[in-house]
A and B are shown apart, each in its own frame.
Chain A
Amino acid sequence: MSDATAKRGAAREPLLSVRSLSVEFRTEQGPFRAVKEVSFDVEPGKTLAVVGESGSGKSVTSLAIMRLTDYTGGRIVGGEVLFRPNGGEALDLVKASDDTLRSIRGKDIAMIFQEPMTSLNPVFTIGNQIGETLSLHEGLNAREARLRAKDLLQKVRLPDAEKLLDRYPHQLSGGMRQRVMIAMALACNPKLLIADEPTTALDVTIQAQILNIIRDLQQEMGTAVIFITHDMGVVAEMADDVVVMWKGDKVEQAPVRDIFAAPQHPYTRALLSAVPRLGSLKGQPLPKRTPVMLMDGGEPRQVGETHVQNTANYTKPVLQVEKLTTRFDVGKTFLGRVTHRVHAVEEVSFEIYPGETLALVGESGSGKSTIGRTLQQLIEPTGGTVRFDGRDMNAMSHGERRKLRQQIQYIFQDPFASLDPRHTVGYSIAEPIVVHGLIKDRKAIDKRVHELMEQVGLQPQHAKRYPHEFSGGQRQRVCIARALASDPKLIIADESVSALDVSIQAQIVNLLMELQAKRGLSYLFITHDMAVVEKISHRVAVMYLGQIVEIGTRQAVFENPQHSYTRKLLSAVPIADPQRERAKTRIEGEIPSPVRPVGKEPTIHRMHEVEPGHWVALEADAMRGAA
């Protein structure tokens, strides 16, 4: 920013002033106030982060600024949204006419949304969708709009911009789509950009790239940004000022360093204490359970105690996976001949010991979920052996395989989708007991269900309720109770805490660790979230394009990462510490696809042992494999 603007900036009025804004939604139980008298200012060229968990009203606030809540059944019942696009007179968007609003939307204020996969219209080309904004607000004709669209695509660092203009959204990856979305939002040089969780649905290395692009373009164009997020790491990386929202109220506002250094409101303190921080267990060989601060009716309360998770028993592995390979056929010719295959998992080997948590980390397409599903016999492997308790799965009879399903249980990512909405939670928890015929007596089953619910922190009398009567965190507890019902030895947790708010996430992670200590459970913890991995796991396997590139103890992998991909993954994680220098690492490049033409087999990495138990793929092999 030049000196002149900096000097003017001091005396200048804020670009946007939100004053006592309240938004209501009509529900069957009467009006529901999602945002309650919220006020904040956005200075020109600055970034304001609005943070909060689900139900905090942060997204509704972001929609209400441009009065997009009008289209979601929301009603602004009080307050002002004063916008000064040219520094002078303020315009109250709450009272503005529809025509005025339309002339501001997309031109002076633009918005980026959370889901890049669904925020572009699937039936129009990229060029058409960017050009639409330009012809609407700047009266450009088709040729001019196309030229400008191409410039914009280059600005967001998309290669081959000319060709991209004629592509459709489904031909692009999520990261590319989000860049197109940014290009579209910045088309008319808006004064204010509202970004609602723009990187939440993206892989970490892609997230790092998108955050860099937003930051660079913001500096270049002097755009003010309202950044809606639940991720304190992203806040620390991006924000100048922070507004914390809780249940529709603004509970705190401060410059970013103050929020992290000296949070005032109890909720802010609770929120920050729950955030998993990469590097917080540095120098400690074992994972650790730590207390969580919870909001109990407006007052923070400490729950749980500190326990070192010394549960693993390294004498005899419970699960041995050797050269497991899983491929899927895709792409067939007219006559049904297979032309391409997804090489989801390629010769992967690892072991899990009783009481141990092995984390399987990687980005989309790395094959981590396919391994979980193969072990749970949801997918047939193409090759390799899996031994459970020393017995080869390939040699098992049909009955034995069925019994194995009782020993290995699965917890899915989405607690909303993985419970049948038409059955009570008690029914769902009892189902594995009934299916495997573990207990015959109806009364005894009920008693067992009640015990299980107590163990996962639910009230047994709620067994007769239906899933929709529970919150997301409670539903995940139901899923855990169901997984425990058949008394398994191994639980595969596939992104089981990824969709949860951080405070809930911290509680569920603690619950999983507590159950491990009590029952000697083993976990295969599949996730993309490095900070959670550090907290929960004994050993870590890093996956890239269907193969393990690094495996070792948590301490070895996090403190002494050897493979370049592991380092890239670790450096891409936003750290919840605003004191750190921002974006010192530049990450480039898309995640390559595991789809290959038939006959072009991937190179299998050779592994070498850098220290006892810490194996790393040879980089030369890895490079050839990715080519």
Chain B
Amino acid sequence: MAGFILKRLLQAVFVILAVTLIVSFAVRLSGDPAIMLTGGAGGVTEQDLQNIRKSLGLERPFIIQYFSFLQGIVVGDFGRSFMGGTPVAKLIGNALPATLLLAFASLLTSIAFSVPLGVYAAVKRGRWPDQLIRILSLVGLSFPNFWLAIMMVLFFSIFLGWLPPSGMEGPQSFVMPALTMAIILTATNVRLVRTSMLETLSQQYIMVARSKGLKDWVVLYKHALRNSAIPLVTYIGLQFGGLIGSIVIVERVFNWPGMGTLAFDAISARDYPVLQGTITVLALFIVFINIVIDIAYGFIDPRIRTE
């Protein structure tokens, strides 16, 4: 186990190196922050721009800039924002909890819906509840999330006035952003749970469990579900990457003070340090989740534990 974790951490280092290199390079193709800072004001000379670049450390060769960034990461220093000079670590420290809360809230909501629905669809295979769940899942898949978000705001905030349209103030402000993402996740997870359960339910040990006289829900949720969990858990790990991607859009619509908003603003302002910092932290987070999932396999399935 220790060897396995060590191996994965080693892999993680390479992933982070690759991600930071690509991000640092790509961000510098997006435009000149010095021009952004001067805001296109008149009377700015080339000399002024040079001075700004120099003060930001942008006159140095790319590779030097990259290494000083890496050096900073090791001690947790992501530099300072070009806009206002706040330490990037502090900005991330404020935004990360909001994003994580939203991500986990969506994920848990999606699991709470997709597992019982998927199990039920598998049990009722081919009959109308199964058909209905499959159609609903397809409908859920077909909505673009930004459209769904806007529709919800229109309905719940503007028409009914039940929920705050934006910001993060209290539990009710979680409902719409979390639901927006949960609907997309649930649509795919339901199908995954259903397929995986169908596979498990055809196994001999399920018939053995029934022949013991166990109640249906014990057979389904004790004997079958744990055996169906591996594909679901794998997929949730993969989903995290996509989840982070869609969070940028959803946070934007709901004006959520999270990593997505931070990254989005940094892109528009060509605020290199903030963008590099947010993306590196998000990448680290995805790598971490996937290590956790690999370890979780062992808890779910003893056959993986001994290998």
A132 contact from B212, B300, B302, Cβ within 8 A: B212
Known contacts A122-B301, A122-B303, A334-B3, A106 near B213 by CB under 8 Å: yes
Contact check, A123 vs B213: say whether CB atoms are below 8 A apart.
Answer: no
Interface residue from B205, B213, B214 paired with A120 (Cβ < 8 Å): B205
Residues of B close to A119: CB separation below 8 A: 204-205, 207-208
Please give the distance in Å from A339's CB to the nearest CB on chain B. 13
Chain B residues with CB under 8 Å of A123's CB are: 226-227, 300-302
* B-side interface residues, number (CB < 8 Å): 22
Chain B positions 210 through 222: 1 when the CB is less than 8 Å from some CB of chain A, otherwise 0: 1111110000000
Nearest to A120 among chain B residues (CB) is: B205
B227 close to A168 (CB less than 8 A): no
Min C-beta distance of A568 to chain B, whole Å? 30
Known: A121-B227, A334-B3. A68 touches B210 (CB 8 A): yes
Flag whether A471 is at the interface (Cβ < 8 A): no
Of A104, A122, A132, the residue contacting B214 (CB under 8 A) is: A132
Residue pair B212, A120 in contact (C-beta under 8 Å): no
* Number of CB contacts from chain A to chain B under 8 A: 76
In this complex, the member of B205, B213, B215, B301 whose beta carbon has the largest number of chain A beta carbons within 10 angstroms is B213
Q: How far in angstroms is the closest Cβ of chain A from B215?
A: 7
Q: Given A102-B214, A106-B213: A120 and B227 within 8 A (CB)?
A: no
Are B204 and A115 in contact, with the CB atoms below 8 A? yes
The reply to whether A113 and B212 contact each other, CB–CB distance below 8 Å, is no
- In the bound complex, do residue A170 and residue B303 qualify as a contact, i.e. CB atoms below 8 Å apart? yes
Report A-chain residues with C-beta under 8 Å of the C-beta of B227: 121-123
Contact residues in B for A397 (Cβ distance below 8 Å): none
Answer whether residue B203 sits at the interface, using C-beta atoms and an 8 A cutoff. Answer: yes
A522 located at the interface, meaning its Cβ lies under 8 Å from any Cβ of chain B in the complex: no
A113–B204 touching, CB < 8 Å: yes
Contact digits for A139-177, partner B, Cβ 8 Å, 1 yes 0 no: 000000000000000000000000000001011000000
Asked whether, in the complex, the Cβ of A118 is within 8 Å of the Cβ of B203, the reply is yes
Please tell me if the beta carbons of B212 and A105 are within 8 angstroms of each other in the complex.
yes
Whether A118 and B211, one on each chain, are in contact in the complex, defined by CB atoms closer than 8 angstroms, is no
B172: interface (CB < 8 Å): no
A118-B205, A119-B204 as given contacts; A136 in contact with B302, CB under 8 Å: no
B211 & A106 in contact (Cβ 8 Å cutoff): yes
Interface size bracket, A side: 20 to 34
A53-75 Cβ-contact flags toward B at 8 Å (1 or 0)? 00000000001001010011000
In the complex, residue of chain B having the shortest beta-carbon distance to the beta carbon of A187: B212
Question: A102 with B213: in contact, given A123-B226, A170-B303, A334-B3 (CB under 8 Å)?
Answer: yes
Chain B residues with CB below 8 A from A115, complex form: 204
**Known contacts A121-B227, A168-B303, A171-B306; A111/B211 CB under 8 A:** yes
Q: B212–A133 contact, CB under 8 A? A: yes
Chain B residues near A171: list those with CB within 8 A.
306
Judge whether A107 is part of the interface by a CB distance below 8 angstroms. yes
Let me know if B223 is at the binding interface, CB within 8 A. yes
With the chains together, A143 CA to B203 CA distance in Å?
Answer: 29
| In the complex, A524 has a CB within 8 A of chain B | no
Residue pair A105, B213 in contact (C-beta under 8 Å): yes
- Known contacts being A121-B223, A122-B303, A168-B303, is A106 close to B205, with CB within 8 Å? no
Q: A71 — which chain B residues lie within 8 A by C-beta?
A: 207, 210
Rounded to whole angstroms, the CA-CA distance of A186 and B264 in the bound complex is 65
Asked whether A107 lies within 8 Å of B301 as measured between CB atoms, the reply is: no
CB distance A68 to B211 under 8 Å? yes
| Bound Cα distance A334, B204 (Å) | 36
Output the nearest chain A residue to B301 by Cβ-Cβ distance.
A123
B133 at the interface (CB under 8 A from A): no
Q: Inside 8 A of A215's CB, which chain B residues have their CB? A: none
Near A by CB (< 8 A), chain B positions 75-107 give none
B232: CB under 8 A from chain A? no
Task: Flag if A136 contacts B214 (CB, 8 Å).
Answer: yes
Say if the beta carbon of A137 comes within 8 Å of chain B. Answer: yes
Q: What separation, in Å, do the CA atoms of A118 and B207 have in the docked complex?
A: 10
Cβ–Cβ < 8 Å partners of B205 in chain A: 118-122
Q: Give min CB distance, A306 to chain B, whole Å.
A: 42
Q: Which residues of A contact B303 (CB under 8 A)?
A: 122, 168, 170
**Complex-state Cα separation, A365 to B152, whole angstroms:** 63
Partner of A68 from B7, B207, B214, B223 at Cβ < 8 Å: B207
Report how far A114 CA is from B7 CA in the complex, Å.
41
Q: Which residue of B lies closest to A171 (CB)?
A: B306
**A residues lining the B interface (CB < 8 Å):** 63, 66, 68, 71-72, 101-107, 110-111, 113-115, 118-124, 132-133, 136-137, 168, 170-171, 181, 184, 334
Q: Which 8 interchain pairs have the tightest Cβ spacing?
A: A105-B213, A106-B212, A106-B213, A168-B302, A118-B204, A111-B211, A334-B3, A121-B205
17 examples of A-B residue contacts, CB within 8 angstroms: A105-B210, A105-B212, A105-B213, A110-B211, A111-B208, A113-B207, A118-B203, A119-B208, A122-B205, A123-B226, A123-B227, A123-B302, A136-B212, A136-B213, A170-B303, A181-B208, A184-B212
